[in-house]
Structure 1
Amino acid sequence: MAMAERGRPRNFDRAQALRKAMDVFWSKGYEGASLTDLTEAMGINSPSLYGAFGSKESLFREAVELYRDTEGGSGRRALEDAPTAREGIQSMLLASAERFTAPGHPPGCMIVLGAPSGCVNHASVGDFLGDNRREMQSRILARLHAGAANGELPAGADLKGLAAFYTTVLHGMSIQARDGATRKTLQAVARQAMCAWDALAGALPDHARP
């Protein structure tokens, strides 16, 4: 048996082990998730973890990608699938309110809460998550540009500022969820955040409103 496989159960399921690791990182963050936490959840020992995933950081990066493709993708899909930009933003926030408080999962967003940006001890991890958060903001901005092109927002609207605003709301909802906010509270936050859109769209002349 190769050294990398020593201690790995015969029925080792890499995908299942990765999902277990995702839950640990989601719950405890990168720094807070110890090797013991990870190996116990994954059902393997440390040599097997390193053999299968390379390092704790590599495991974390794979876990984040899994999160993005599964539980973490609901807000992104809601943003992009809605017929209008306003509906996309509102659907994204409401989908996130549901996801952040889903029973059986850690509260909040793994990408927001996994590690602080600029973390000195694990700068590459913080930078990686920061890149993921900026990528979501870029998606929001792209959806706003599409909406503006369709006449859903007034000419000259500060789309970058609006994208930053809704990204901030999204991140704040995640932190609120981690601190115990209920789904009802987060849904109310989402709806109140749409008042900013309505105030901005109110600048449109009546004939130009969608």
Structure 2
Amino acid sequence: MPGGRPRAFDTDAALDRALEVFWRQGYEGASLSDLTAAMGINRPSIYAAFGNKEELFVKALERYVSGPGAFAAEALDAPTVREVVERLVHGAIELTTRTDAPVGCLMVNSVHACGPDAASARDAALACRMAGETALRRRFEDAPDLPDGYDAGTLAGLVHTITDGIAVQAAGGRTRDELRRVADLALRTLLP
């Protein structure tokens, strides 16, 4: 026996629009009215397809990691430590300064702009960020070309600090060219 009426909307397209609202306005800044208007569906449809606002946010984070933020996982396949770091830093610049998407980084914005009532959304964003840093640390641990004297965990933390800084600066209005100049200097200093 069928399980009810089929959905009258494209769940992938609706999730993409919710992602953009969260990215632009943050978790707390995104009201259910904003989300329903952007997604083109009503509240009962959001709850039926995605769960509550927090569950929708977690799905949007997952979509962000596998969509606009996919460069980070792809960078881990670069053949050298230097190329991994370059791809992450330059990818962060490209992502956070796009003209066809909100500026900044969804995860960085979410971690820094959530109050006590949104602790679970903040924790979800932190968990995504930490998963990325853990994957980077493991990549460095396995690297035969990790420079002498470099600790894989510390280097992974430093690279994430740089990419987070890029996101904050992009959200504050720094241009792509300005960020590239800063990144080039950081890369020359970090991995001479």
Query: TM-score under structure 2 normalisation?
Result: 0.90
- How do residues 57-206 of structure 1 correspond to structure 2 at under 5 angstroms? 57-78=54-75, 80-116=76-112, 119-147=115-143, 150-154=144-148, 156-199=149-192
What's the CA shift for 1:117?
7.9
Compare relative contact order (CA 8 Å, sep 6+) and give the higher one, 1 or 2.
2
Alpha-carbon distance between aligned partners in 1 of 2:8 and 2:128, rounded to the nearest angstrom: 33
Alpha-carbon distance between aligned partners in 2 of 1:23 and 1:119, rounded to the nearest angstrom: 20
Report Cα offsets for 1:163-193 as digits up to 9, x if no partner. 2111101101001111111111121222122
- Structure (1 or 2) with the larger CA radius of gyration: 1
Answer whether contact 2:133 2:157 (CA < 8 A) is retained: yes
Alpha-carbon distance between aligned partners in 1 of 2:181 and 2:12, rounded to the nearest angstrom: 36
The one-letter amino acid of 1:99's match is L
Answer whether contact 1:21 1:42 (CA < 8 A) is retained: yes
Paired residue total: 189
Q: Structure 2 unaligned segments of length 5 or more: list them.
A: none
What's the CA shift for 1:84?
0.3
In structure 2, the partner of 1:206 is none
In structure 2, the partner of 1:56 is 53
Alpha-carbon distance between aligned partners in 2 of 1:178 and 1:105, rounded to the nearest angstrom: 12
What's the CA shift for 1:53?
1.3
166 and 191 in structure 1: CA distance in 2 versus 1, 3 angstrom threshold:
same
Identity %: 38
146 and 117 in structure 1: CA distance in 2 versus 1, 3 angstrom threshold:
farther
